[in-house]
Structure 1
C-alpha cells in the first residue's frame, strides 16, 4: 500500500499547535486530522512499513504540512514478487 498522509509533526512546538487546531481542521477540511501519528497508526493496523519519508511541504504552514509518505505491506506478503 502506498500512503501519503499529513499528520503529527516531529517538532514539539508544532505538535502543540496541531493539537490546539485539530478540531477546527476537522470542520474546515471535512474530517481531516492534524495530530495523528501516522507511523503508529499504520504499524498498529497490522501492516509493516518498508519505506517511510517524513517532510514538511514547502508551501504549506508547518502545522498542516508535515507529511508521511511511504509503502506498507501485509507481513505475509512481504517478499512476494
Structure 2
C-alpha cells in the first residue's frame, strides 16, 4: 500500500467530497484518487492535442493551424452566445 498523507480543505469542500463519494458509492479517498488519475495535466493535454493534429494530418489530410483553432474557438463562442440568448 502506498504511503498515506493528508490534505487540508475547507469544511464545505470536505462535505461536497463526502456527498459526491456517497452518490457514487465510493469513499472520499477513492474519489480523490480517481480525480487525480483522470484529470490530465497541461503537458498531457498538449501531447493529446499534438497527437490529434498528427492523426488529422496523416489520415485525413487536414492541417490544423492557429488560424483554424482561432476560427473554431470563435464559432464555439458564437454558438454559446446564441444558446444563452435563447
Give yes or no for TM over 0.5: no
Higher relative contact order (CA 8 A, sep 6+): 1
* Higher share in strand: 1
TM-score (norm. length: structure 1): 0.27
* Higher share in helix: 2
TM-score (norm. length: structure 2): 0.26
Q: Which one has the largest radius of gyration?
A: 2
